[in-house]
Amino acid sequence: MNGFPAPASRHQRTAALFPPDRPLRLEKGGTLSQVRVAYEEFGHPDPHRPNTVFVCHALTGTSHVTRHSPDDFPGWWEEMVGPGRPIDTNHLHVVCANVLGGCAGTTGPWTPGPTGRPLAADFPAITVGDMVTVHRRLLVHLGSTGLHAVVGGSLGGMQALEWLLRHPGDARRFLLIATGARLSTDALAAHAAGRAAIRADPAFAAGRYPEHPDARGPVEGLGVARMIAHLTYMSPKSLETKFARRPQPLAPAADPAYGPYAVERYLEHQARTFVTRFDANSYLHLTAAMDHYDAFARPTAPLPPEDRRPTVQVFSFASDRLFAATDTDHLMTHLSTLGLPLTHHRDITSEAGHDAFLLRVPGYLTAVAEAFAIHDSPRPGPQPVSTR
């Protein structure tokens, strides 16, 4: 099995944070020191005003949000970030970092432990709050003088929500996209089935497969996990529109246990491509962090003075199965009690489901662009991020 991180953009940088005398104290116990954080920057910071936007990525995303140049390879949010896009890098400075526990350059299960071998199953449990703590420390490392916005979709939206609730004075606005304050039972069940598939793969070896560099690792189980998850990212209507019951059989000599349908070939393709770029232990840790997140289960931080309070904008999709209308209602009900300027844009045009937040959905993209086009009133800007 290939080691991680996977091949990265040539623009990716790495910061070493949390020295041994000031380690990262994890919310579920334990510490990590010398945390390596892989990040990318797009656009340029403005010395005269806070123009930095921190983008928090979703479950299997990376720091590579968009192209840096025409000859660069595509990023995962090309529709949203870049020159002339809703988050316009002609005017805004964008920072995105691979999350703690990921497998694209930031400290995670493939990070070497004291023995020199990957931590693998010994990597500690992490939370959405831990991810935000690392993001904020990165901004201090970069010398940030204040954030224009924090933006995220899905798991990234959970990170943005956690940032808002614990550090509301860090940014002028928070955009929470295709996300919720906690996962529904339906979503928990999908994650549980995916993790069970990984653990049931004989090559999982109790999570210690990285100790056997010639082994393939639990690629079959991880592929099945991706197939299960992908069904929560699409809507039933989008599956019907794209595939219906159209046949796309395998070769005649193939195992007859395989179905003859195009949708099956599509999910198999998703599995094959996913296992080449993602790590099973990272998948277990990140889905567990999503499952355990319950944003309003503990008190929120005090709000800054009224003239420094951020605006909050929620974007949801009627076709989203992973974060359905009931999840958005729960989020909005709790957010409305905070006393912050709050708006909600709900898209009813896209059939794409949860993945709509990554796609060209004109009304939604226009609404985000309008959110960033609003000129800030002459009020004090956000304070520089401080971890003290």
Burial class (CB in 10 A: 0-12, 13-18, 19+), 180: buried
Six-digit token string for 71:
């000859």
State whether residue 35 is helix, strand or coil: strand
Q: How far apart are CA 54 and CA 60, in angstroms?
A: 17
Contacts of 196 (CB under 8 A, 6+ apart): none
Q: Give 87's strand partners.
A: 81
Q: How far apart are CA 160 and CA 129, in angstroms?
A: 10
Catalytic residues: 154, 320, 354
- What is the separation of C-alpha 212 from the centre of its chain, rounded to a whole number of angstroms? 29
Rounded to a whole number, what is the distance in angstroms from the first to the last CA of the chain? Answer: 41
What are φ and ψ of residue 256, in 5° steps?
A: -65, -10
Q: How far apart are CA 312 and CA 349, in angstroms?
A: 23
Asked if 225 and 197 touch (Cβ cutoff 8 Å), the reply is: yes
